[in-house]
Chain A
Amino acid sequence: MTPQPMVKFDGVTKRYGALTVLDNLDLEILPGEKVAIIGPSGSGKTTVLRMLMTLEKINDGVIWVDGEPLTHMPRNGGLALADNAHLRRMRGKIGMVFQHFNLFPHMSALKNCMEAPVTVLKLSQDEARARATELLQMVGLGDKLDHYPSQLSGGQQQRVAIARALAMRPKVMLFDEVTSALDPELVGEVLNVIRRLGAELDLTMLMVTHQMGFAREFADRVCFFYGGRIAEQGPPEQIFGQAHNERTRQFLSACLEAI
């Protein structure tokens, strides 16, 4: 019996004016699954993450998280668009790491990780500090607790961003091209942290990435997006080895040529 999906996109459509970015998307992600999303720009990959993080509104369809609707709420036996209170409750299950880190520049690494647990989860300062310290140590920045973002390298900032997101104990972690803005020599340290998280924590992870080598080795499943739909999905061996879809093969060979 298949377990209930942790994330479910049910006929989801997203439009920007005349442009349809996501076209009747169906996608299921199981608890603890690590899914990599690849595809050309404009294919809707980042929109999937942003809609899950409630940064974008839905035009059609329903998104489900952990068995409950995210974008909608139960009312009178049916579903109505979610109000703010419902969104806030559901949002707590999801965490996101951004391409450009978005760390708070006026706070140290430690304070960045403490801020939301104190303000939103109402933890005490001591509890929040203990949690933040532990997470920063886990990402290898235990000696940089009092450093400000301007004093950290890109790779270090992104690791703080990961710790900050984890401090809210989400069930689903979203990674939006988290190494694309980094100098090449800093990419590895961030990928290592993600690898560790995958092994040590029981997290459902959804990542949009251009790091094909990492996706191949780390992901349980790879989804290739094209034109707002999933053109093909399957285990890495299939996608990177013998993709069924012609477009998938074209995209991957174009990527490989760039190396």
Chain B
Amino acid sequence: MVMRSVVVAAVVSFTAGLIVASFAGFREFIPGLLEGAWITVQITAAGAVVAVVCAVTAGLLKMYGPWPLRWLAVAYIELFRGTSALVQLFWLFFVLPLFGVTLPPMTVAIAALGLNIGAYGAEVVRGAVGAVPRGQWEATVALNMTRTEALRRVILPQAFVAMIPPWGNLFIELLKSTALVSLITIGDLAFRAQQMNQTTFRTAEIFSIVLVIYLAIAAVITVGMKALEQKAAGAMARGRGH
């Protein structure tokens, strides 16, 4: 039901958007908005990488690390989950230079958003690894594997498949949170939209097209994750030999 309505919404609004955009009046917005969309996609992709790395590291450390690292992981997770994404973004943007760390705004944005989503992702990793049946662990003990070998060869490959749907949701959250970078003057899709709105005040048209573009990117993410899930689960569920 969800997939169907996503597809319906995407197709209908994309078509409507194209028809509407083909009118001369809207054509002037498209190039600028697409430039902004490209920035948005870049931040989303880079942020996703940061998020996954942070999540797997923090999740595994929280479950299996030595206690100092485990506390570090818990602190990271609670801090970034418990505070607002915009506050984190502003904090890193305004405060890091005071510590002598000057980074380009895009980098700060990617780091802040990646760390934010990564904290939620750590719980997803933890949940997926914890959901692997205990019998699998016992089988690795019976075969005299170390815990690291067991994680690497048996547990994580199974947890990976279970993780994909929640990560799909998190990547969509990441996409939506990229709009915040417009508030620290990064020229993403939201920024371009506000800019155009301030100059032309054609709010309804501009923001409608913008919402459609975000939806299109979200649809691509959803479809991509579904395909990844099929591929990853394929060997386990349907048993294709390799």
* Chain A interface residues toward B at CB < 8 A: 53-55, 88, 91-92, 94-96, 98, 100-106, 108, 115-116, 119-120, 146-151, 164-165, 168
Are B241 and A53 within 8 A (Cβ)? no
The reply on B138 being an interface residue by CB < 8 A is yes
Contact with A along B199-242 (1 / 0, CB 8 A): 00000000000000000000000000000000000011111011
The segment from B29-37, B73-81, B150-158 found at the interface with A is B150-158
* Chain B interface residues toward A at CB < 8 A: 133, 135-136, 138-139, 141-146, 149, 153-154, 157-158, 161, 235-239, 241-242
User: Residues of A contacting B136 with CB < 8 Å?
Assistant: 102, 104
Are A116 and B241 within 8 A (Cβ)? no
Are A91 and B144 within 8 A (Cβ)? yes
Q: A98-B135, A98-B142, A116-B144 are in contact. Are A105 and B236 (CB under 8 A)?
A: yes
A-B contact pairs, 13 of them (CB 8 A): A54-B141, A55-B138, A98-B139, A100-B135, A102-B136, A102-B138, A106-B235, A116-B143, A116-B144, A120-B145, A150-B238, A165-B143, A168-B144
Nearest chain A CB to B149 CB, angstrom units: 5
User: Residues of B contacting A168 with CB < 8 Å?
Assistant: 143-144
Are A120 and B139 within 8 A (Cβ)? no
Where chain A touches its partner, the secondary structure class is loop
The 8 closest A-B pairs by CB, nearest first: A148-B239, A116-B143, A146-B241, A102-B139, A102-B135, A151-B239, A96-B142, A91-B144
User: Residues of A contacting B235 with CB < 8 Å?
Assistant: 106, 148
Cα A149 to Cα B237 with chains together (Å): 9
A-B contact count (CB 8 A): 72
Nearest chain B CB to A9 CB, angstrom units: 19
Q: A88-B144, A92-B144, A151-B239 are in contact. Are A119 and B153 (CB under 8 A)?
A: yes
User: Residues of B contacting A147 with CB < 8 Å?
Assistant: 239, 241
- Closest Cβ neighbor of B155 among chain A residues: A104
Nearest chain A CB to B28 CB, angstrom units: 53
Are B145 and A53 within 8 A (Cβ)? no
Nearest chain B CB to A205 CB, angstrom units: 15
Are A88 and B146 within 8 A (Cβ)? yes
Are B142 and A120 within 8 A (Cβ)? no
Q: A53-B141, A150-B236 are in contact. Are A108 and B241 (CB under 8 A)?
A: yes
User: Residues of B contacting A88 with CB < 8 Å?
Assistant: 144, 146
Are A150 and B149 within 8 A (Cβ)? no
User: Residues of B contacting A115 with CB < 8 Å?
Assistant: 143, 153-154
Nearest chain A CB to B160 CB, angstrom units: 9
